[in-house]
């Protein structure tokens, strides 16, 4: 009797009375219901049931030439007949499983090699932990070989940040790595930033400023780009790390576009800085577009107080008593016109 793999096998269960009947049949050399019923003191119906059970278990076989005469079969022979087909199926399945496993395991080196390569070239990796981001920045600053490109929005930077940036930046420049940075125009009015910039320029750094810039961006060797994580809730932003070559090349092009349109950082007196007119144009343009003082200040990377001081100076210079009049007078005086860029 065969069994189907994956379903309950149709094997009968050997109960105590059937086992006792089998022992009697072995002693008698045959299975006779009447004799078994007498020996075990059971009913003919029970004897008939036991005969069916022993038959299903292949423990009884009809005698050749006399189908009515049932004789007991050894348990070993019965087991072979009963489960032999199922065992063959199990062996076949075990062999198939072994072959499949061997084939799959042969692909393991390719899988891990591919994973390492994919991880190296992964398009994005968002790191939310600020300490981890700083650790990655420090590592890449030490490992960079040819160039660091940076965009720093927001105007003047806090003194403690400048102090930390000074050590890292000078270390990069002293290794002969080219460093170019774009600030916003408003950074020119901060004495601490100007001192920092002067030191970088003396060590070979290149710095320019622009009216408005994109978000903060740091590019190492045109291979890895750090961008700020987008507006996380309830914590400081981490960073999105970009390694995919096409995206990195695009972001490098964005930097070069900003660089070409930016003005070299002038280290003369603040009052003589030619960027003053650029700031005035930017403020008047944003005012004309309907931006409030707070938004103008944010766009140009300066404090609201500084922005309002510039607005007051502009309105006095244009002899205007309202923002509308300031815009009209600025247009007439060609303050809104940009000179030809010669950088």
- Would you state the pLDDT for residue 336? 55
- Would you state the pLDDT for residue 341? 41
Structure confidence at residue 277 as a pLDDT band (50, 70, 90): low
Q: What is the C-alpha to C-alpha distance for residues 262 and 185, in angstroms, rounded to an integer? A: 9
Structure confidence at residue 12 as a pLDDT band (50, 70, 90): confident
Structure confidence at residue 179 as a pLDDT band (50, 70, 90): very high
Residues 183 and 208 sit within 8 Å (Cβ to Cβ): yes
Read off the pLDDT of each residue in 251-256 and give the average, rounded to a whole number: 96
Residue 196: name the closest of 173, 222, 218 by CA.
173
Structure confidence at residue 308 as a pLDDT band (50, 70, 90): confident
Read off the pLDDT of each residue in 196-219 and give the average, rounded to a whole number: 89
pLDDT > 70: what percent of the chain?
A: 84
Residue 255 has pLDDT above 90, yes or no: yes
Half-sphere exposure of 288 (CA within 13 A, CB side): 17
Residues 17 and 48 sit within 8 Å (Cβ to Cβ): no
Residue 83 has pLDDT above 60, yes or no: yes
- Would you state the pLDDT for residue 296? 76
- Would you state the pLDDT for residue 275? 47
Residues 205 and 175 sit within 8 Å (Cβ to Cβ): no
For the stretch 19-63, pLDDT in tens is: 998 898 898 888 888 888 888 889 989 989 998 999 888 888 888
Residue 229 has pLDDT above 80, yes or no: yes
Residue 272 has pLDDT above 60, yes or no: no
Average pLDDT score over the chain:
81
Residue 9 has pLDDT above 50, yes or no: no
Residue 330 has pLDDT above 50, yes or no: yes
Q: What is the C-alpha to C-alpha distance for residues 319 and 315, in angstroms, rounded to an integer? A: 6
């Amino acid at each position: 009797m065969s069994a189907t793999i994956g379903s309950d096998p149709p094997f009968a269960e050997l109960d105590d009375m059937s086992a006792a009947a089998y022992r009697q049949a072995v002693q008698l050399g045959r299975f006779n219901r009447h004799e078994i019923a007498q020996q075990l003191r059971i009913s003919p119906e029970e004897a008939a049931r036991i005969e069916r059970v022993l038959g299903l278990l292949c423990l009884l076989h009809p005698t050749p030439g006399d189908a009515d005469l049932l004789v007991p079969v050894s348990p070993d022979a019965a087991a072979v007949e009963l489960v032999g087909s199922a065992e063959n199926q199990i062996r076949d399945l075990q062999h198939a499983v072994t072959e499949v496993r061997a084939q799959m395991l042969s692909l393991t080196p390719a899988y891990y090699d591919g994973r390492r390569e994919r991880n190296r070239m992964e398009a994005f990796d968002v790191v939310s932990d600020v300490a981890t981001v700083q650790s990655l920045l420090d590592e890449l600053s030490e490992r960079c070989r040819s160039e660091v490109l940076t965009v720093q929005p927001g105007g003047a930077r806090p003194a403690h940040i400048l102090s930390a940036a000074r050590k890292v930046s000078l270390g990069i420049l002293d290794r002969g790595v080219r460093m170019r940075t774009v600030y916003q125009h408003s950074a020119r009015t901060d004495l601490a930033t100007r001192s920092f910039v002067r030191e970088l320029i003396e060590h070979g750094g290149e710095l320019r400023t622009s009216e408005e810039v994109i978000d903060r961006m740091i590019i190492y060797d045109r291979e890895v780009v750090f961008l700020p994580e987008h507006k996380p809730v309830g914590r400081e932003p981490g960073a999105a790390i970009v390694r995919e070559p096409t995206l990195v090349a695009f972001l490098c092009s964005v930097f070069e576009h900003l660089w070409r349109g930016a003005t070299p950082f002038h280290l003369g007196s603040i009052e003589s800085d030619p960027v003053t007119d650029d700031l005035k144009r930017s403020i008047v343009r944003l005012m004309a577009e309907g931006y409030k003082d707070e938004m103008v200040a944010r766009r140009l990377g300066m404090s609201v107080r500084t922005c309002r001081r510039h607005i007051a100076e502009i309105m006095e210079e244009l002899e205007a008593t309202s923002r509308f009049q300031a815009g009209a007078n600025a247009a007439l005086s060609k303050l809104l016109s940009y000179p030809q860029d010669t950088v």
